[in-house]
Amino acid sequence: MAVAATQTGTPSSKHNIEAMRDAFYARIAQKDMAPLWKVMKSVVTKEPVTRCQPHVWHYADVKSLVMESGGLITAEEAERRVLILENPALHGESRITNTLFAGVQMIMPGEVAPAHRHVSSAIRFVLDGEGAYTAVEGEKAFMAPGDFVITANWAPHDHGNPSDKPMLWLDVLDFPAVNFYEASFAEHFEDATQATRRKDGDSLAFYGSGVLPDGTHAMNRSPVINYTYARTRPIVERLMQSGDIDRRHGARVRYANPVTGGPVLPTMSACLAMLPKGFRGEPYRSTDGTIFVCVEGRGTTAVDGKVLEWGPNDVFVVPPWKRYSHNAPEQSVLFSISDRPAQEALGIWREGN
């Protein structure tokens, strides 16, 4: 080594040191070691690097394909009849961003999706149909379009549809993140449906109304099962009318754990925003890759030089740290969900413009 160092700069010594290094790397590989200096810039990047692409799934396509799947497999046989929304850059990885899964589930009239539980938390955002339910922790929540339902870590849940129309909803789960930690557990129950201990709407009435049952203690996730659209939409409308309109996000509320004010789940948080007619949002970016659903209206979102056009029930994804801005020629409502609370808990979440 001393010889090589004194000869630095001459062509033959350069060749020599490269050859010596390569031989060294080959030897340390045999001992399961590697030089950090060869990879440091790519493992500690100056800015977030993502494989995820911006993309939109139009509801006309999604609905007809999900309906078609109804003729191929029952909910019971599938356990969950869901078509995965795969990020185009991550085919085969069952994810829409690096940390989140998204899919569209359908329950046909009379069907049951049997009870199970898992470590991965889930949210549902209802797209179509009315009168199907999800039973979570003893409460049967009947759902309507725009409802936002949470299923916390390890909460038993089953779904059923006593109505006469199919119901479709967006499922978002954090299992890619759970699997990153290799911490997944799941189990099934003998009975396909769970016994109910509470009435539909109890959790929203008890915890989401400015009062709390005496003795309620704080948990790291919300006790509310269903944040109904009927309750939340008038709030964003009122916020917009009051002029409280964020220049990037519109008149936006964050779904909150009513006991702590924190996010609904420790791993995922959601917002509902009303964009006034003619809204031209200012650019924004943050490290949480975000999934949006257009609930009402029509518009476009420019992301990293790509323009995503959206209308009712279209789902689109913005990758981490890609700059985006919304444009709404009509009054519109956007639902969004991301892994922001997980990043905040770790101290790594950042935002910018």
Nearer to ligand 1HN, 103 or 319 (CB): 103
- Based on CB atoms, which residue is closest to ligand 1HN, 159 or 340? 159
Among 115, 122, 127, 294, which residue sits at the site for ligand 1HN (rule: CB under 6 A)? 122
Among 14-22, 101-109, 217-225, 262-270, the segment contacting ligand 1HN (CB under 6 A): 101-109
Closest contact distance (angstroms) between CB of 174 and ligand 1HN is: 10
Do 169 and 162 touch, CB atoms closer than 8 A? no
Asked if 52 and 86 touch (Cβ cutoff 8 Å), the reply is no
Residue among 173, 240, 271, 317 that touches ligand 1HN (CB under 6 A): 173
For ligand 1HN, which is the closer residue by CB, 113 or 224?
113
User: Distance (Å, rounded) from C-alpha 268 to C-alpha 119?
Assistant: 14
Q: What number of chain residues touch ligand 1HN (CB under 6 A)? A: 12
Can you tell me the distance from the alpha carbon of 273 to that of 332, in angstroms, rounded to the nearest whole number? 8
Consecutive H or E run containing 41: helix 40-43
Residues 6+ positions from 179 with CB-CB distance below 8 Å: none
Closest CA to 21 of 10, 9, 5: 5
Q: Provide the minimum distance between the beta carbon of 159 and ligand 1HN in the complex, in angstroms, as a whole number.
A: 6
Stretch that binds ligand 1HN, among 32-40, 100-108, 224-232, 318-326 (CB under 6 A): 100-108
Q: Is there a contact between 149 and 143 (Cβ–Cβ < 8 Å)?
A: yes
The neighbour count for residue 298, using CB atoms within 10 Å, is 15
Nearest-CA neighbor of 24 among 44, 41, 10, 4? 4
- From 66, 82, 136, 268, residue interacting with ligand 1HN (rule: CB under 6 A): 82
Give the interface segment with ligand 1HN, choosing from 48-56, 167-175, 189-197, 294-302 (CB under 6 A): 167-175
The tokens of 108 are what? 């046909």
* 124-163 footprint of ligand 1HN as x/- string (CB under 6 A): ---------------------------------x-x----
* Count of alpha carbons within 13 angstroms of residue 290, beta-carbon side: 28
- Side chain identity, residue 174: D
The token duo for 75 is: 């909910």
Among 21, 58, 63, 80, the residue binding ligand 1HN under the rule CB under 6 A is 80
Q: Please name every residue paired with 326 in a beta bridge, in sequence order, or none if there are none.
A: 301
Give the nearest distance from C-beta 248 to ligand 1HN in angstroms: 31
Rank residues 165 and 188 by Cβ distance to ligand 1HN and give the closer one. 188
Confirm if 98 and 339 have CB atoms less than 8 A apart: no
> Which one, 96 or 328, has the nearer CB to ligand 1HN?
96
Binding site for ligand 1HN (CB under 6 A): 80, 82, 101, 103, 105, 113, 122, 157, 159, 171, 173, 175
